[in-house]
Amino acid sequence: MNTSAPAIEMPAGGASALEAARLMLVRDIRLAFRKRGQLVQPLAFFAIVTTLFPLGISPELSRLRDVAPGVLWVAALLSSLLALEFLFRDDAQDGTLEQHVLSGQSLTWLLFAKTVAHWILTGLPLALMAPLAALSLGVPVASVGGIVASVAIGSVALSLIGSVGAALTLGVKRSGALMSLLTLPLSMPVLIFGARATELAIKGEGFAAPLYLLGALAVFGITLAPLAAAAAVRISLE
């Protein structure tokens, strides 16, 4: 099966940057379904980690429930990192990224669209899988809504932070390890607040405060991450 990138017709120079971003989003989603191995890999990793973890600690539901927030969020963070390596790499290798830089369209909007596609293909499925993994760790059904909300919002911030790391390591061979070293320290606040929101949801307590902090991190990332990623891509391609 042909896995080359489908051609997209960018709007003329005077057209909206939002339309160019929409075309980029559709293109990346279509292309991802041609490479199902890359699409399934982070989700399979998340499922394996969360289901095998109980074998290494204890089958007692009370103990599993106590560690469930940390297990879910560490697995979600590492799963998101797995997919980030492919965020810009293929387009850089075949010259598509250079064409985006020279197209006259806003590179910031185009890279933001690629990051949104990454979240739709990775972060959103992780948020939908998290309740199943949480139930296997003995958490109550009533906490499912809080878990989905925290992982969904937190994964937005993780995708945005990761896009900057992926752009900074674009010109480095075997950049996965370096990208992880750059991204993990910046992701710690997301991990902390996300695990706290999940813990409170499991206990049946109010989890709005850490959820608001996750939302603030996501908004902060939307504001700055695409600009930083665009600048890093331009430097990497020079």
Burial profile 78-98: b = 16 or more Cβ within 10 angstroms, e = fewer: ebbbbbbbbbbbbbbeeebbe
Mean pLDDT of 6-24: 66
Q: How far is CA 81 from the centre of its chain?
A: 7
pTM here is 0.85
Q: How far is CA 99 from the centre of its chain?
A: 25
Q: Domain residues of the chain, as ranges? A: 34-237
Per-residue model confidence as pLDDT tens digits over 69-80: 888 999 999 898
pLDDT at 147 over 60: yes
Q: What is the pLDDT of residue 13?
A: 45
pLDDT at 216 over 50: yes
